Structures are given as C-alpha cells and as structure tokens.
C-alpha cells in the first residue's frame, strides 16, 4: 500500500474513532444533544458527560495507544525482533508491582490518584533495573542481554505481585486484577495532560532517531562506520521508549498487543523504513485503542469490559493473520 494513502486512511479512521467515542456511551444521547453540549449549550449533565468524561477518555486512548504502538515499533527495531513489544522488557511488570503493592498495603484505593504515581514509579524502577543489569554485562549495550534482563526483571516483579496478592484481602485482589486488565475509565484532563507531557516530546525524540535505527538494522558496525553513535542511540531509544510505555501503563493499566500487532501490521504494509513506520504506527495505535475502548464500553453496556481483554480478543486473531501473511508473503 502507498504510504500517503495509508496515512489518510489512518487519519480518517482515528478521527472516526474519536467521534464515535464521544457520541456513544452508557448514557444514550442524541446527535443534537451532543452538538449542543460541545458548543457549550444544552443540558449541564450532558456537557459534563461529554466534556469531562467521554472527550478526555477518547484523547487519552489516542495518546496511550499511539505511545504503546510507537514504543513497540522502536523496541522491534532496537532488538531486531518483529515479535518484541513494550512489555517484554519488564516495564509493565514493574508498573503492576507498584500498583499492587500500594493496594495491598492499603496506601491507596482503586480509584485513588496515588495509584498511577505508584505504577509509574514501579515502571521507572523496572527500567533502571533492566538497564543496570544489561549494562553490567559489558561496556556496550548488547540487545540480547537487554532482552534477557527484561525477562528476568519481569519475572521478579511477577513474583512480587503474586506474593502481595496471596497476602491481601479478596477485595484488594479484585481491585488489583481489574487494574492489571487495563481501563481508561478514570480518564481526566489532568491524566491526559500528564500522559501528553511524556508521550508527545518522547515521540518526537524517537522519530528523530529513525535514520539511526534504519542504519542499525543493517548492522551496528556498518551504522558506526556511517557516523552513528550506536551506543548512544541504543540507550536513548530504550530509555525514551520505556518512558512512553511507563506513562501509558501508569494511567491505563496493562494493555497488551497494541505494541505488538500494530507496528508489525504497518511494517507488512509499508516496509521497515523507520521514517514512515514510526509515525504511522503511532497513528494506527491511537485509532486501534480508541476503537477498542469504544467496544469495551458498548459491547456489554452498561457493564464495561476491561480494555486489556478487548485488545487481547482483537489482537490474537489479528496477530495470527499477520503471522501467517509474513510467513507466506
């Protein structure tokens, strides 16, 4: 597929996802009521639903989905593995451990504003641990060691989560499990601002590394000969992509498959040129998560399905299709 056409289609589908996300929800609203509320007139309750609940949730879905897909594309390029994803490096495990610990210790409730802070802190600890372990193996950052360090650190945090849950009350266990399944229900303009403050600058930095990542795909030695500071690029790409993931996980919980199938699918459509793959992955991830959140709210309304469950149900068959296409293409 031609890149401009794909970009137009992704922009249109993302815009449609936002419109549908604002238009539909557990509270039925007519189109005139939605238009009036967006203009600042109409019923006050309708304005609150649209401007304080649905609209920030739709924007947060764009930021989190785009950030996860972008980070996934970077990790796949960095690790030279098309099956890599943001959570493979232990970041989600650290975030989950931070959230579960404060829930288990009674320091925060499920809807507390302190919970995302604890999750983000746990993710940062995971990032530092993985980086420290990988750096200890040698002066150069070996991507294979980085991958193994992520798996080990993720396993450690899984053990921490299991221990905490085994010692917690049933209500706490339920709250922790629901958080780990992922949700955008707590979206506010404050959380949107926090995620945007990390995601947008980090996305610009990562897209600026596109040329270096293209050269490194040929080989680190070749990239070094062509003037790329390979070690600096690896550390910067890992650190910045991890921050994007940490910000998304902190406010939305663990949402799988976005960072795996979205960049993988875009790569099959346009190739591996990171100059185009990174921005299109961001756009596709934003639209994908916005549609997934809409499905989570509407499929069993008024009951809301955890968005991580929806992305898994959508992601597994899509991944199998993409895997089959990549093997036969």
Number of neighbours of residue 229 by Cβ within 10 angstroms:
12
Residue 329 has pLDDT above 60, yes or no: no
* pLDDT higher than 80, residue 141: no
Predicted confidence at residue 139, as pLDDT, reads 67
Which has the minimum average pLDDT: 30-34, 88-92, 110-114, 211-215? 110-114
Predicted local confidence at residue 263, as pLDDT: 92
User: Is 1.10.3470.10 the CATH classification of the domain at 3-328?
Assistant: yes
Bigger pLDDT: 142 vs 34: 34
Q: Global pTM?
A: 0.91
Q: Compute the average pLDDT of residues 201-223.
A: 88
How many other β-carbons are positioned within 10 Å of the β-carbon of residue 108? 18
111 pLDDT band, cuts 50/70/90, is low
237 and 78 in contact (C-beta within 8 Å)?
yes
Mean pLDDT of all residues belonging to the chain = 87
Q: What DSSP designation does 54 have?
A: I
Average pLDDT over residues 296-312: 88
Residue 172 has pLDDT above 90, yes or no: no
Residue 30 φ/ψ region, left for φ over 0, alpha for ψ in the -120 to 50 degree band, beta for the rest: beta
What value does the mean pLDDT take over residues 142-155?
85
Choose between 179 and 70: higher pLDDT.
70
Q: For residues 296 and 305, is the Cβ–Cβ distance under 8 A?
A: yes
- Backbone angle region of 256, left / alpha / beta, with phi > 0 → left and psi within -120 to 50 → alpha: beta
Q: How confident is the model at residue 328 (pLDDT cuts 50, 70, 90)?
A: low
Asked if residue 80 has pLDDT above 70, the reply is yes
268 by Cβ neighbours in 10 Å (0-12 / 13-18 / 19+) ranks as middle
Residue 143: pLDDT over 80: no
């Amino acid at each position: 597929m031609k890149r401009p056409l794909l970009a137009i289609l992704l922009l249109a589908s993302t815009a449609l996802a936002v419109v549908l996300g604002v238009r539909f929800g557990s509270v039925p609203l007519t189109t005139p009521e939605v238009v009036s509320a967006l203009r600042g007139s109409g019923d006050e309750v309708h304005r609150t639903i649209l401007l304080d609940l649905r609209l920030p949730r739709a924007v947060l879905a764009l930021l989190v989905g785009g950030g996860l897909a972008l980070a996934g594309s970077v990790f796949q390029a960095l690790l030279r593995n098309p099956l890599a994803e943001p959570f493979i490096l232990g970041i989600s495990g650290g975030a989950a451990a931070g959230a579960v610990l404060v829930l288990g210790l009674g320091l925060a409730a499920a809807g507390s504003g302190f919970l995302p802070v604890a999750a983000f802190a746990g993710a940062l600890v995971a990032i530092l641990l993985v980086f420290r372990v990988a750096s200890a193996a040698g002066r150069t950052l070996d991507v294979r060691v980085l991958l193994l360090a992520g798996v080990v650190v993720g396993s450690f945090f899984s053990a921490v989560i299991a221990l905490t849950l085994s010692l917690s009350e049933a209500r706490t266990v339920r709250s922790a499990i629901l958080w780990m399944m992922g949700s955008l229900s707590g979206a506010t303009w404050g959380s949107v601002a926090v995620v945007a403050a990390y995601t947008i600058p980090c996305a610009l930095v990562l897209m600026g590394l596109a040329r270096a990542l293209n050269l490194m795909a040929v080989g680190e030695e070749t990239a070094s000969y062509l003037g790329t500071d390979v070690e600096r690029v690896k550390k910067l790409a890992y650190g910045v992509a991890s921050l994007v993931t940490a910000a998304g996980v902190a406010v939305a919980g663990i949402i799988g498959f976005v960072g795996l199938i979205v960049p993988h699918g875009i790569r099959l459509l346009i190739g591996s040129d990171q100059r185009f793959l990174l921005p299109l992955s961001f756009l596709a991830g934003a639209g994908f998560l916005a549609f997934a959140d809409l499905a989570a709210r509407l499929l069993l309304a008024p009951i809301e399905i955890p968005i991580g469950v929806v992305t898994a149900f959508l992601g597994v068959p899509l991944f199998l299709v993409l895997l089959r296409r990549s093997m036969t293409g």
